[in-house]
Structure 1
Amino acid sequence: SGRALLGFSSVFTAPPPAAGPYAYMAGVAGVTLVKQDFNNIDPTPDGLAIGVNDTLDVSYWHQYFSSYPSFLKVLGYVSGTANAAALGGSHISIPITCPNPVAVPCPTTISLTGQVFNAGCQLLTVTWKVDGVPVQTNLVPANTPNASLTMTRYYVSGNHTVTLTASDGVLSPSCNTAANVGAIPLAVSCPASIVTNTTPGQCTAVVTYNVTASKDCVAVTNVVCNPLSGYTFPKGVTTVTCTADDGAGHTANCSFNVTVIDAQAPAFVCPANIVTNPPPGIFQVPVNFAIPTPTDNCPGVSMVCTPASGSMFSDGATLVTCKATDAAGNTNLCIFVVTVNTTNATISPLIAQTKCQGETAVFSTVPSGPGPFTFAWRLDSNPVGTNGPALAIATGSLSIGNHSVQVSMTNGNSVVSSTATLTVGSLTSATPLTNLTRCVCESAVFATTPIGTGPFSFLWLKDGQVLPNQSSNSLTLQSLKTASAGTYSVVVAGTCNRVTNSATLTLEGSDNPTSPLVLTNEAYLPINDFGPATPYPSVINVKCISGTIRKLTVTLYSLTHTFPGDIDLLLVGPNGQALKLMSDAGNYFEAEDATLTFDDDAADFLPQVTGIVTGTFKPTDYEEFDSFDNPAPSPPYTNRLSAFIGSGLNGNWSLYVMDDETLDAGSIGHGWSLRFDWDITHPQLRSPLKLGDGRYQFTLSGEVGRTHVIQRSTNLQNWISVSTNTLTGTNLIYVEPSATNASPGYYRALCCP
């Protein structure tokens, strides 16, 4: 039902003032509950008597005031009277809610509000104290459930304790809160550094500024700066220092810079233009003029005129520039003209030209001085052309090479001439590049020879992209990788034109070959009756594999023959070893689609008198004196694949297949394969020797026929390839191309791949 049970109990510890009976009164939140609220418990004197040290228990339900303070009072009375006296009972509590703490940066007026709950029948006296000193009193009437009380006052700097106390004469509960007021120290604030220009015509500037100071949020007016605001500051940087004093023995300082810049250019009067007329036959004359005197707002100004006064001036107009510069770098300049009028004639020089054969070259000159002018032209000392300042020369009939062109001019008083070279060039061509096929890690060189009139320039490209730092007529590629394959082009530019030649680089092999390696010739191999198979021999070509054979196995795919005892097989390696794989095995039992693998480690030989089936067998020779048609080598032959161990892989491996009897034939339907297990021989650099010219010499040891790269480093981290070598013997002597001053120098040799 949402109701709560409230219980009251009171114990009398002193004799009541008169004999009973007594009555009681109970209430909630200061409100006395009337009779009907007590569920028929009679609050009248009839029927209730309480003696000394007796306990009165009163229980009742009430649904509205279950959360409010409650009270119980026992009232004594004299029979026949209406007056009752309170004898005792439980007392009402006084809840107090303190104001929230307050913190402010500066002294100020603060209002604090607290709450007092008076549920009793007594008047409450509420007292406010600040730091233990009473500052305000409030009265709260009886039965006031929620009284809000405010205290307002001015607080100085410091941390203050505010106490709120409520008293009904019996209880005096209290609470504390804080009012903290900050203490702001004395501070002075200077402006940012000031930059200004000098006053026009002065080397100084008047500068005003504003400096402020405060303490506890109150302005401080006793501020002294040196120099003062409004001071006339000189050019340059001046530091202003300001001090604030609060009169209580505290000071604060700040400073800033005032920079006065001289931005005013010097001034001067430019000389007037000068005209001079030298006598006939004089081509140059000295000309003197007064150097301007500059003025400036600051001392330290200089003046320079170019050409200087007294310099030699040639015929015609010459510009003279005078420039004044002050100590701050400000400049001012002016230009005037010195004109020399002579009766002598001059011409502008001819300019050398290069033309391709068949083009037209035009030479021209510009005369100056008094005219009229007469011109005479010569080509290779022979008169040519007409009387005029220009000459057009057709080069189609001229030989390839240099020719002399000369012009002479006279105005009656003087004769002047000029000579230039005409170079007649031929069209450029270049020898073609050669397509190359290389193994991985080898080197490749493309080269061309230009033909025609130089100078020549060369630009190399790979797949259309320019190769940097390649400008000679040859391109060397070292330590080739599969990515090096592509189309290489060279653009050859001569005097007259440019041509482009291209070639391809094909790479064979792998950047990282692994063991084992299996190579297959899948071609169908018919075994003809009583003769060699076609082709004879069948070949597997091994390229670009560096290393030596550790083990070799051979596999024939889909061998079919009506009388396999007729078959003789001979395997010949690139180094001349000859192994008879199979001879006179299987007798007359027809072999059909058998795959045979020959391995020295196989458990059995091929059968001699039973049929041949798919499997792995040792090389099998049941007829020692078999022979093979040319070009197969002559006996003796080995019958062990181990004969190839330790030799190289590269070259032609030839399989010779013969049928040595009539009436039967067959085929190897899907070709044959070689499986190589091979080893890498690691190179060594040894025996370093410093030569007399400062270069170093090393001995490179490694596998014959294998490519090795020599690299150099100065820090053992960054390596540069300096040489790629394919060993033709077990040792190779490497000598640095030039003495290196880098120290230290480290070298290493790598197999490639």
Structure 2
Amino acid sequence: MKKITFLWQLAILVFFSSQLTAQRFYSSGEREDVQVTAQTKLEIENAKRNFSSRSSANTSPQMMASTYVGSFLVGDGPSWTTNPPSYTAQEAAALIFGGSPSDYFISTNPNTVDPMTITHTAWTDSWGGPCQELAEDFKIDVGAVGYNDPGGAGTATSAYINDHPSCWPLENFVWLAGSAPITACGPSGLPIDNPLGSNCTALSPATVAGGTVIGSNIGEYRLSNVTIDIVHTWDSDLDISLQSPSGTILDLSSDNGGSGDNYQITVFEDGAPVITTGSPPFNGTFEAEGGTFASTFAGESINGDWTLIVSDDVCSFDGGTLNSYCITFEPILVIGDPPVISCPANITADNAAGQCGAVVNFAAVAVDTEDGNISGSIVYTPDTGSFFPVGTTTVTASVTDSDGNTATCTFDVTVVDAEDPAVTCADFTAQLDASGMVTVLPSDVASATDNCPGVTMDFLISGVPGPSDIITTLFNRNNGGNFGGAVYFDVTVGPADIQITDLETNTAETGAMTMDVYTLIGTSVGNQQNPAPWTLMATGSGTGAGLNNPSMLALDNPIILSANTTYGFALVMDASHGHDYSGTGTNPAPGSTSYSNADLTLSLGSANNTPFSSAAFTPRIWNGSLIYQPYTSVAVPSLDYTCMEVGPNDVTVIATDAAGNTSTCTAVVTVEDNIAPVIACIGEPTPVTDSVSASPGLPINNGTPTVVSTIDVTDDFVITDLDVMVDIPHAWVGDLIVEIQSPAGTVVTIIDQPGVPASTFGCAGDDILATLDDEATAPVEDECDAGVPTINGTFTPNNPLSAFDGESTLGTWTLTVIDTFPAGDDGILSEWGIAYTHDVTAAPYDAILDGTTGTVTVNVADLLLSVDEACSYTVTTGG
């Protein structure tokens, strides 16, 4: 079996080799190698179909500019599943492609996606199962001179091992590889001037190597561009041409530009506007004056010196310098026409129920000149039928034809979250705190879920004035009334309440002015001579702006109008101003009898010279504006309740998802005051706080690191609470320890190097101005603010002052301050003191009997010395 297998494989290799040999002698010259390559590809595919073999062939490594790489497999050993192959990848490649194993090397960067990366993975077919990936030494490259793998696009050639129809389609994965663009530059800084007229031409040769010929086939090159930079006065003196290594000369530009100066970064490229259409300094891209590069140099080798010739035909007058010149050739790597792909229009879809996205299907269309409709080969990223999240996702569609040409297009898939969140409410009972307040959060009364993350909850408060808006009739007067006259119109309110805050009106008079605003429910029509139904709602004040200019009038209080209601309005001017309005006879022009927006409708109108009395002129169109605020609902993150809301309160919770969809639910928040009043009756002991202090001004320094100050208290009370006040300016408060000792000898450390041990050296801030109080919330140990004093306020001490509760105040109190690092910073014990609370027995309530009846009436509230209650209370007596 081993020998038979070897000979069978070798026969296939010889067949491919003969095909290559025949094709090599088909024609001569590098340009025909492209045909050999294309034919070789066809023979490879035909061979795979005609022989059920696991071998294929490819092109010669000598075809450097254009190489197809196909697939192969070598088998050896007593069976397909034992022993390694008898050929290394390099040996197999040499047998198939020709040459020696040293002509081939190993790929180190497999890539199965982009053929222009030129490196691909390899596969083998073990007898037990196809499509197993080979080891690294089975990824081979054609190691021709000039190819370095891995590299950029077009810089290397690689074999893609495709050995079995069950793994891949029979169409072979044959990729094209080619050389990188070649750029060469000539000498720079060449003079183009000579006062004697003997150096009128600059020659700058750019040497090109490693290419083939100029043409239009695979493996050939096109002259991409010539870029020059010339400084020269009077451009029309210059003749600029390009000479190929074969001696062909193309006129780039001759005698163009008149008296203008310079060719500043001028690029010559086929297909651009001809240079004669440009003007100095010719900064841009142009086609050569004498024709195209493609037609002029077709078939010529690109290798050799490409010389830029710059001649000054009047060089004794003007001159310049050839600063730079470069020429670029690009390899032709594309076979045939690339496919044309058309993406669908952008797609918008709603989310699937309960999901934060949707499955979306789509199809693009791809057509290729050689392959026809290749829509079935389109690869989508993400793929059609994928789950697309809410939002916009860009889909890339890519298709590659049989020649390796790839086309792409993109479109957007937008999934809209059209699903409202679900919110559920439950009644809630809230307890007022000692201050008579409680805050309720939406989460106390509701829970919400949504198909997408990010749902939030708020309370919805209705009846809140929203942003200001305005409705205007016109300011184009053609009639007017007497001073102190009135205009009338109706306002019909839309679906929401509104409040009118200001008005604008038209009056020819200037100066300070007022206008009274009357309303009635219903219509003004028929009520112009009847004052009874009218109510003065507000007075507007402002300054007249003159004829046909809006005169702003601020109302002294807003006028609130209910939704879906019609109101009659009467606007009465003061005695020094008159209305200027529109309408004459029975014609309202230039005004209209109706103006409206989404919030309200104005129906106009009439006027009279004596308000609510004289005959009305109709139609008369008030010139002016109503400035108003529609009432709306606003979302708030919490609700604060006080004693005023004790009892049931209806609330609405609104849930809003990230897409803006909303849902609401309602609940009842019952507010309860369950904290009993704290009372003190006359005659009961009453807490009283007294204080003493001292200002010793003792220095704290290296000489006196410990300072002691005393205070003598003459009161003899039993302490129920004690606070200590200290004022110690010091440059590093973290060094300080402060102790206080009572007359009874009890010692409490109230400050102990703030910041230690959290910070080794303690708080580095300046000064302490603090009250130490067991009832405070923040510990003094943690204080170290940026300002001065760095410890400023009321704090709990390091050790509780309750140690003194029950002791007598009488005697000497001692404060000791210790600087634990006196050599570093200094300070002063400026002031300190104590505040001691003790109970004082109050005088009893004196009730004097009536001398006649022997009785006395006592108001029980008079028996209370104090009441601590946030809400209202009543005083009664009980048995």
TM-score by length of 1: 0.20
Higher helix share: 2
Q: If you compute each CA radius of gyration, which structure gives the higher value, 1 or 2?
A: 1
Higher strand share: 1
